[in-house]
């Protein structure tokens, strides 16, 4: 199964840091977020990795190259100067991701989630990892009921980690679109499974959260 890391976002809330550095290349204790994620994925058996790039994408290409130093094979999905949002970015990358289910992970998270435990086959169109709601996102995104993702309360927060079937995107013809509405539609049809991760997870979306990680034990 191939993996995709979403790395095309502008990172507006991280400015001015992201004016010169793509958000996934920002470092926690000396290691770029992207480097850490790739090492985790390779360690879990995901050696073929697709990375979408837009804003400062050349910096990511220069830093990672072919992926050989990570013992990975990295391919790049180009989106131009402006990202296609999460849904559009995944749809653009489908030719690089193969026919089977594939893993997608946000490039700006810091987590100890064990990627190797994710399902390699799907009982539907997607499988999502959810976490307890952080302070900055108290209302959550999805409910979880007996292993199924639902659109009812109580809600947990989507961790930015999911396994998807390409068929989830088959009806979309627009170039740029978010992933959330697509997942909510599929959840309403009973096509999304899920699990809760109770370990380490941070959405490194602001300078304050980045600083907190760098100051932690």
Per-residue pLDDT, 186: 97
pLDDT tens digits for range 176-206: 999 999 999 999 999 999 999 999 999 998 8
CATH code linked to domain 3-215: 3.90.550.10
pLDDT digits (tens, 9 = 90+) for 153-180: 999 999 999 999 999 998 888 899 999 9
pLDDT-derived band at 62 (thresholds 50, 70, 90) equals very high
DSSP string across 16-82: TGGGTS-GGG-EETTEEHHHHHHHHHHHTT--EEEEEE-TTHHHHHHHHTTSGGGT-EEEEEE--SS
Q: What are phi and psi of 82, to 5 degrees?
A: -125, 135
Separation CA 128–CA 56 (nearest Å):
29
Whether 209 has a pLDDT exceeding 80, the answer reads yes
pLDDT > 60? residue 217:
no
Say if residue 94's pLDDT is above 70: yes
Rounded Cα distance between 216 and 60, Å, is 26
Q: Which band of pLDDT confidence, cut at 50, 70 and 90, is reported for residue 50?
A: very high
**Structure token pair of residue 122:** 């799907």
């Amino acid at each position: 199964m191939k993996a995709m890391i979403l790395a095309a976002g502008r990172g507006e809330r991280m400015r001015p840091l992201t004016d010169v550095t793509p958000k996934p290349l920002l470092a926690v204790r000396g290691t770029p977020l992207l480097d850490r994620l790739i090492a985790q994925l390779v360690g879990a058996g995901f050696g073929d990795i697709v990375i979408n790039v837009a804003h400062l994408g050349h910096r990511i290409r220069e830093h990672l190259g072919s992926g050989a130093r990570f013992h990975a094979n990295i391919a790049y999905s180009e989106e131009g100067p402006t990202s296609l949002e999460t849904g559009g970015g995944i749809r653009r990358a489908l030719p690089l991701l193969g026919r089977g289910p594939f893993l997608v992970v946000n490039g700006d998270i810091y987590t100890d989630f064990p990627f190797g435990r994710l399902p390699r086959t799907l009982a539907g169109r997607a499988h999502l990892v959810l976490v307890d709601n952080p302070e900055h996102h108290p209302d959550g995104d999805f409910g979880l009921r007996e292993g199924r993702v639902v659109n009812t309360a109580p809600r947990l927060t989507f961790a930015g980690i999911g396994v998807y079937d390409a068929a989830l995107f088959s009806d979309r013809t627009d170039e740029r679109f978010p992933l959330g509405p697509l997942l909510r539609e599929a959840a309403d049809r009973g096509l999304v499974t899920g699990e809760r991760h109770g370990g380490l997870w941070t959405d490194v979306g602001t300078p304050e959260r980045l600083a907190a990680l760098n100051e932690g034990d």
